[in-house]
């Protein structure tokens, strides 16, 4: 995989120019894109700034995020060829840092669950996940050092786990969602995909203008959570979580069991009410004027969502608000830095009929807390574990993720 920090180190050392770095990316795209199909469109003649902290870094932009130089087509024929007049603020910020938004990456239609044609480069024959399918696959294939995704349920964390890359869902509102096609304004969150946790921390610190996010790595205090608010994981995922626990503990992390009260089962159950009520409004024009053009899963979802009333929505929001406040207090008093839990139920499902199950992601999206998927080394299809910190503690989540990533790599070398 292409590492953002490695490319930048070579540029700063003078052994690589930003233009040459982007040329490496373009060569990787030419080699892998025909089989991976992670990109919708790409810039045939990108402008490459020679200055800036992200100069030379080519970025994939999920195709629900506006770009003034490339069409934004939402994964839907309704928007074929649609060209925004302006960049979304997140894209403008990347350009200001010297990065090159070189391509639009595939997305399920309107970031729901109807699959794309993108293949999983790390697990042939298995889904790359969704909805940020192309961003996860492009980074996994070594085509891009950085890509943007979004998460409303599990659309960053899950595909990152399925494709064996690092995915970051930052704290809610840390990155602007203006210029991003809305599905649920309460839940939609911009996220990043990168080769390593250190790459992701560096990128997020720069993009958010918060250098404190990229802080020194130390052995964290970890609360190990086996969720009781949803169906259990498959044995392989539980094995990966235990492998991560053993590695972290051996490297000096303190680990203890962690659980959540029944309130969080109630909050987990309300995610769908909030998402569905808001999506019916966010996609009202498409539903009314292009109903038969919508893909089948999304069309059925919006048909059902019409029946959710405001009273149910308001009740769900009150429960979510209560849970967010309770989680803040629980984490403040729990004597832990981060939660370590599952990223996905197991291996990416075989075939391309489904993008997988987001049940280990939805609660944390609703809570608005930072989450990071860390790949767990293995010989089979990729698996990941999820590191979670309290709201606003993105530095803590990424520091712990980097510690875990390094620890797993060292253990893999020792026992490889």
In this structure, what token pair is assigned to residue 85?
A: 């007049």
Q: Is 62 a catalytic residue?
A: yes
Angstrom distance (rounded) from CA 244 to CA 311: 43
Which are the contacts of 15, defined by CB distance < 8 A and separation ≥ 6? none
In this structure, what token pair is assigned to residue 78?
A: 């309704």
Cβ pair 400, 385 in contact under 8 A:
no
Angstrom distance (rounded) from CA 217 to CA 415: 23
Given 42, 155, 171, 399, which residue is catalytic?
Answer: 155
In three-state secondary structure terms, 87 is coil
Q: Is 76 a catalytic residue?
A: no
Angstrom distance (rounded) from CA 300 to CA 53: 45
Of 249, 21, 2, nearest in space to 139 by CA: 2
Helix (H), strand (E) at residue 5:
helix 4-13
Given 42, 62, 135, 181, which residue is catalytic?
Answer: 62
Q: Is 15 a catalytic residue?
A: no
How many Å is the maximal CA-CA distance in the chain? Answer: 61
Given 131, 135, 171, 279, which residue is catalytic?
Answer: 131
Angstrom distance (rounded) from CA 76 to CA 54: 31
Q: Show which residues are catalytic.
A: 62, 131, 155
């Amino acid at each position: 995989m292409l590492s953002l920090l490695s490319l930048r180190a070579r540029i700063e050392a003078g052994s690589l120019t930003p233009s040459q770095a982007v040329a490496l990316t373009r060569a990787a795209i030419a080699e892998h894109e025909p089989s991976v199909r992670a990109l919708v469109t790409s810039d045939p003649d990108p402008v490459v700034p020679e200055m800036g902290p992200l100069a030379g870094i080519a970025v994939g932009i999920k195709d629900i995020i506006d770009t003034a130089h490339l069409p934004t087509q939402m994964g839907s024929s309704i928007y074929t060829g649609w060209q925004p007049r302006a960049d979304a603020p997140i894209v403008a910020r990347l350009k200001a840092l010297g990065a090159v938004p070189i391509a639009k990456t595939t997305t399920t239609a309107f970031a729901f669950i109807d699959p794309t044609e993108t293949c999983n480069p790390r697990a042939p024959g298995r889904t790359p996940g969704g909805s940020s399918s192309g961003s996860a696959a492009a980074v996994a294939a070594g085509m891009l050092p950085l890509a943007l995704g979004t998460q409303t349920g599990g659309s960053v964390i899950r595909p990152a786990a399925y494709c064996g890359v690092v995915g970051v869902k930052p704290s809610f509102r840390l990155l602007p969602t203006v210029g991003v096609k809305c599905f649920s304004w309460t839940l939609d969150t911009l996220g990043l995909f990168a080769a390593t946790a250190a790459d992701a921390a560096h990128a997020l610190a720069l993009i958010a203008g918060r250098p404190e996010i990229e802080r020194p790595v130390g052995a964290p205090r970890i609360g190990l959570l086996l969720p009781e608010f949803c169906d259990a994981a498959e044995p392989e995922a539980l094995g990966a979580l235990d492998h991560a626990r053993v590695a972290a503990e051996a490297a000096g992390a303190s680990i203890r069991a962690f659980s959540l009260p029944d309130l969080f089962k109630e909050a987990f159950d309300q995610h769908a009410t909030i998402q569905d009520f808001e999506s019916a409004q966010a996609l009202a024009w498409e539903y009314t004027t292009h109903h038969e053009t919508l893909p089948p899963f999304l069309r059925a979802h919006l048909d059902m969502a019409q029946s959710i009333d405001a009273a149910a929505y308001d009740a769900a929001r009150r429960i979510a608000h209560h849970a967010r406040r309770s989680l803040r207090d629980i984490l403040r008093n729990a004597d832990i830095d981060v939660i370590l839990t599952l990223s996905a139920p197991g291996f990416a499902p075989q075939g391309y009929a489904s993008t997988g199950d987001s049940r280990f992601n939805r609660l944390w999206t609703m809570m608005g807390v930072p989450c990071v998927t860390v790949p767990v080394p293995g010989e089979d299809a990729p698996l990941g574990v999820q590191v979670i910190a309290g709201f606003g503690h993105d530095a803590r989540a990424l520091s712990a993720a980097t510690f875990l990533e390094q620890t797993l790599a060292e253990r893999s070398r020792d026992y490889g």
